[in-house]
Amino acid sequence: MHETSLVLAMCSQIEEMARAQKAQEVLSITVRIGEVAGVEEEIFAFAFEVYKKENPLFKKSELKIEKIPARKKCLACGEEFQGLSLKKCPRCGKEQFSYTGGDELQIAKVELMVED
């Protein structure tokens, strides 16, 4: 399941962050998932639930997911627009476009608990 490896990658990145700041716990993680990133939100969340049970650092972490809508750019006129359901450019009506966003998977925010 590729969501599991994405969770692993995300958590090891956060772990490094936490270690660098000498944090005891990760309180929450906000992650941005693009509409066309090919990530199943529910599976991703589930994989995280599984992961956090085995990792004390993440025991109390809350996972927040922000969905990022797909952005497209018309190849004919350069118009940029949003929305997966739009199959035609709203300006010129052509049906050829590329994605300029919505394929991201990124950590937006991490809250750490640091005690000394």
Where along the sequence are the contacts to Zn ion (CB under 5 A)?
74, 76-77, 79, 89, 91-92, 94
Cβ 94 to Zn ion shortest distance, Å:
5
Contacts of 22 (CB under 8 A, 6+ apart): 114, 116
Of the candidates 26, 9, 5, 19, the one whose C-alpha atom is nearest the C-alpha of residue 109 is 26
Give the nearer residue to Zn ion in terms of CB position, either 101 or 105.
101
Give the nearer residue to Zn ion in terms of CB position, either 15 or 79.
79
Cβ 68 to Zn ion shortest distance, Å:
22
Cβ 103 to Zn ion shortest distance, Å:
20
Contacts of 95 (CB under 8 A, 6+ apart): 87, 88, 89
Give the nearer residue to Zn ion in terms of CB position, either 54 or 98.
98
Give the nearer residue to Zn ion in terms of CB position, either 7 or 74.
74
Which class for 31: exposed (0-12), middle (13-18), buried (19 or more C-beta within 10 A)? buried
